[in-house]
A and B are shown apart, each in its own frame.
Chain A
Amino acid sequence: MNLVKWKNNDLLDPMNEFDRLQDEINKLFDWNYPENRGLFDRSLSPAVDLVENENEIILVCDLPGIKKDDLDLSISRNVITIKGEKKNELKKEGRKTFRNETWSGAFQRTISLPETVDPEKVDASMKEGVLTVKVAKREEVKPRQISVNVK
């Protein structure tokens, strides 16, 4: 469970929180336009998918607007760390900002992979703001097919 930033500044009106909760719950059922805010806020750590198949563990991470060079990926044994910084190039002097739902700054995410991975065989690629890391499993844990000659 991630900690969710508490965004309501209106301390004088506690009932406000109940309204907000109701909103959040309504949003849950609003299948068409879920918002990426509130309870579903991903502003502290980027969203990650982790998939396991026979040969490898695949980690997919949404990192829009982050260049390859600003990203630092490291693995030690079975713990993988994605570190990076997202720079906001649009915020400049002489510009008026009307809306900013995005976040910028440094982030870090550490994920424990299953023990069966081989930290030597890692393959990472970045495409259209999506990072895909493939970590191979150790040879001895991969399912093998052994043919048995029946006489």
Chain B
Amino acid sequence: MSTQEMTKRKRCVQPLSEIHEEDKKVIIRLEMPGVEKKDLNIQVENNRLRINATRKESEQEGTYLLRERNCVDYEKVFTIDETIDRDSIDAVMKNGVLELSLQFKKEVQPRRIEIKG
């Protein structure tokens, strides 16, 4: 992405993430406080997994005595390789945390080989 493209878009931050791998799947966990399920947009295009979320929280009325929270939209792009099955990506949003589980394709999952004879 060019810098020009980046500046055109709305300001957003990358959510804090965790990536874990299991035998059959990869688990991605993204912390996005203040995001509801309906404000979330997850897309897979070719080898890119793009997660966009808008934060619709309105500002509180009054004078801010302290402002530490960063109330902007979230965006994160992951590159996924060909071992991930594009059709079996699950997403669960709970308590401001998005958990994605990406299954490996059947042919790359470890399997037991029977020994004959």
Q: Is A100's CB under 8 angstroms from B33's CB?
A: no
Contact between B68 and A48 (Cβ–Cβ < 8 Å)?
yes
Q: Is the CB of B65 within 8 A of A50?
A: yes
| With contact pairs A32-B9, A49-B67, A64-B32 given, residues A95 and B20 touching in the complex (Cβ less than 8 Å) | yes
* B22→A65 contact, CB < 8 A: no
Question: Size band of the B side of the interface?
Answer: 35 or more
Q: A32-B6, A32-B12 are in contact. Are A50 and B66 (CB under 8 A)?
A: yes
Contacts A48-B69, A64-B97, A129-B33 given: A98-B21 contact, CB under 8 Å? yes
Q: How many angstroms between the C-alpha atoms of A100 and B20 in the bound complex? A: 9
- Tell me how many residues of A have a C-beta within 8 Å of chain B: 40
Neighbouring B residues of A101 by C-beta, 8 Å: 16-18
Q: Which residues of A contact B17 (CB under 8 A)?
A: 99, 101-102
Q: Are A97 and B33 in contact (CB under 8 A)?
A: no
The reply to whether B95 and A129 contact each other, CB–CB distance below 8 Å, is: yes
Q: Is the CB of A49 within 8 A of B64?
A: yes
Chain B residues at the A interface, C-beta cutoff of 8 Å: 6-7, 9, 11-14, 16-23, 27, 29, 31-36, 57, 60-70, 95-97
In contact, B18 and A49 (Cβ under 8 angstroms): no
Q: Which of A107-151 contact B (CB under 8 A)?
A: 111, 114, 128-130
CB distance from A27 to the nearest CB of B (A): 11
Number of residue pairs spanning A and B whose beta carbons lie under 8 angstroms apart: 126
B33 adjacent to A128 (CB under 8 Å): yes
Query: A-side binding surface: helix, strand, loop or mixed?
Result: loop
B35 CB contact (under 8 Å) in A35, A48, A128:
A128
Jot down 24 A-B pairs with beta carbons below 8 A, ordered by A. Answer: A32-B9, A33-B13, A34-B13, A36-B13, A36-B70, A49-B60, A49-B64, A49-B66, A51-B62, A52-B62, A53-B61, A53-B63, A61-B69, A62-B33, A66-B95, A67-B95, A90-B27, A96-B21, A97-B21, A98-B19, A99-B18, A100-B18, A128-B33, A128-B35
Instruction: Write the chain B residue with the least CB distance to A134.
Output: B60
> What residues of chain A lie closer than 8 Å to B70, measured between beta carbons?
34, 36, 47
